[in-house]
Chain A
Amino acid sequence: MSFEKLMRRSTERPLTAVPWGITLLLVLALGAQIAWHLRLPAPVANARELPSPPSLMALHALSLGEEPAFARLLMLWLQAFDNQPGISIPFRNLDYDHVAGWLEQILALDPRSRYPLLSAVRIYAEVPDPGRRRKMIDFVERQFLLAPDERWQWLAHGVFIAKHRLRDLPLALRLARELREYTHAERVPGWARQMEFFVLEAMGDLQGAQVLLGGLIETGQITDPAEIRFLEQRLARDTD
């Protein structure tokens, strides 16, 4: 089909049907819009502070009955909060009381979610600031006490942070002791329940470590002969 035939089939009238004033207005308005936009300076990014979390009741109402989905959406929002449009905020500049508050509310929305606890120990506690690390450990400890058998992994990681990152052995000992006392052997692996032993060993409290080992063996929490032999050898080596 030729161009001429195509043009004839067109449902539009020719350009000459448009009054010249309208064409002129169109061109002038387009130029004015571009000029108007170019007068503006480039947008400047302003960092927003993390707001304090709303009440749990408000979050329940806003979730419209989809608490697990809403909890995950909130978690993604919180996780991405350090990357605001045009600006990146270091974690150490975030208000960690608010971070802990948000994590707590999100976990309360869906108590079976592991995301807030994982974020606390593996993301927010990685910041090189002892005060902020402690806030995350406090959060994990509080949440562990609410459901020890389900949340022991995160407290075990808390013991690691307290011992190796913060070098706060009394704190590590307290956490490790809670890990042993509040969990049940059939749900939690032996290595996690034996962390207290290693913290005592690191503190040089060999007598305490010996008592603990005896207790663990006596109560049947360690039954594997090779494991018992390993721990005894380690204790003997430290005593020497």
Chain B
Amino acid sequence: MSTLILPIAAYTFREAVRNRLFVLTLGGMVCLLGLTAFVGELAVTEQRQIQAAIIGAGIRLFAVCTVCLFVITSTVREFNDKGFELILSLPAPRSSYFFGKCAGFMLLALVISAAGGLLLLLYSEPAAVLLWYVSLVCELLLLVVLSLLCLFTFGNITVACMLVLAFYLLSRSMETIQLVSMSPILETHSLSQEFMNGMVQVIALFLPELHRFARSEWLIHGGDWSVLPPILAQTAVYTALLGAAALFDLYRKEL
């Protein structure tokens, strides 16, 4: 393993600290806590469950947005400052840069998720929170690699952000879209209907099952650990796919 990976990871993480991302995380958690307390006061019954669900969904969204935006903006800044070219000029394979950045961003994702997990302990069982935390980390790992891939491919903040957002929303809602496309209400057996149904099934083949990750129902009704192995397997398969694609683009990139 290249000796560059650890320094790149450390500097990436240090950049996150200097960008006050952890102050932002603290502020976000305080806001979520306030919102949850307010919503809890409105609830007539199942107060704790409502609070756990809202704070779980809020933390998930906050972590995804923060991590993806930071990955994209930080890497673009490095491209513009020529730091990327400086690193590649060192006697190390290009993959060191990719793995180093991934490791640094994942450390950030681990800390943000841990902050959310600690907050969730106020409203949910520790075992359920742990399951949710592991699953959220897997989700963030996929999104970190996806953000890097989009940036290597398109090299533009707006395009990369929109693609990551679209991919995320599509992956999370794909099961519902599949159900709608198979709905008997819509089944007219017309050619266009069959085509659209087929298209949806094909698109689903290439998307990760993000709707199974970090579900708030675990926080409400308790988690079943048997759901974790498929999540870990999906994370491994899809991370390998995205990572290989990102490395493919990185190796083809002309300086």
Contacts and interface: CB of A to CB of B under 8 A. Distances in A.
Contacts of A58: 42-43
A226 interface: no
Contact of B252 (A13, A30, A38, A40): A13
A22 B234 contact: no
Interface residues of A, number: 36
A20 to B, nearest CB: 11
Contacts of A32: 237, 240-241
B179 A18 contact: no
B252 A26 contact: no
Contacts of A14: 252
A22 B180 contact: no
B185 A29 contact: no
B234 A85 contact: no
Contact of A29 (B178, B241, B254): B241
B67 interface: no
B79 interface: no
Given A33-B205, A43-B175, A88 B245 contact: no
A86 B251 contact: no
Contacts of A30: 241
B42 A57 contact: yes
Interface in B192-245: 204-209, 233-234, 237-238, 240-241, 243-245
A49 to B, nearest CB: 15
Contact of A17 (B205, B237, B240, B251): B251
A86 B179 contact: yes
Contacts of B252: 12-15, 17-18
B241 A18 contact: no
A187 interface: no
B237 A36 contact: yes
A64 interface: no
A55 interface: yes
A72 B10 CA distance: 51
B51 to A, nearest CB: 13
A23 interface: yes
B107 interface: no
B183 interface: yes
Given A22-B247, A25-B240, A45-B179, A88 B253 contact: no
Contacts of B4: none
Nearest to A35: B237
A93 interface: no
Contact of A37 (B180, B182, B205, B245): B205
A83 B247 contact: no
A13 B254 CA distance: 5
B248 interface: yes
A1 interface: no
A34 B205 contact: yes
Contacts of B253: 11-13
A61 interface: yes
Given A25-B240, A32-B240, A88 B185 contact: yes
Ordered nearest first, which 3 A-B pairs have the shortest CB separation?
A: A86-B179, A26-B244, A29-B241
